[in-house]
Amino acid sequence: MQANPCIAGIIDRPDMEDFPIGSIVKTPSGRIGTVVKHRGAQSRHDLFQRIIIEFDEPFGDSVALQPHLLKMIRRPEDQKHHHD
């Protein structure tokens, strides 16, 4: 059975799950920030999930962006030091 290409295209797009809280990401403007919150679609007029990113400079500056606009720099699990 053929997979519907429209559905497959949506699956390819990054989702909020791909950017866990604590991830270091790069925004389209080239700024590096930390994922602090996930926000689902607000209403049926706003179907987009957004990821809230906070920047270090200037402190407390934040932005809400759709997942497919972000580039992953470092996942939270990459920051843990393994001492077994």
d(C-alpha 23, C-alpha 74), whole Å? 6
Domain membership of residue 81 (yes or no) is no
The string of DSSP letters for 52-73 reads: EEE-TTTTT-EEEE-GGG-EEE
pLDDT digits (tens, 9 = 90+) for 12-44: 678 888 999 999 999 999 999 999 999 987 777
* Residues recorded for the chain: 84
In this model, does residue 50 exceed pLDDT 70? Answer: yes
- How many structural domains comprise the chain? 1
- Do residues 73 and 22 make contact, with C-beta atoms less than 8 angstroms apart? no
Instruction: Record the pTM.
Output: 0.73
Which CATH number do you get for residue 54? Answer: 2.40.10
In a domain, 28, yes or no: yes
Is 82 within a domain? no
Give 78's pLDDT tier (boundaries 50, 70, 90): confident
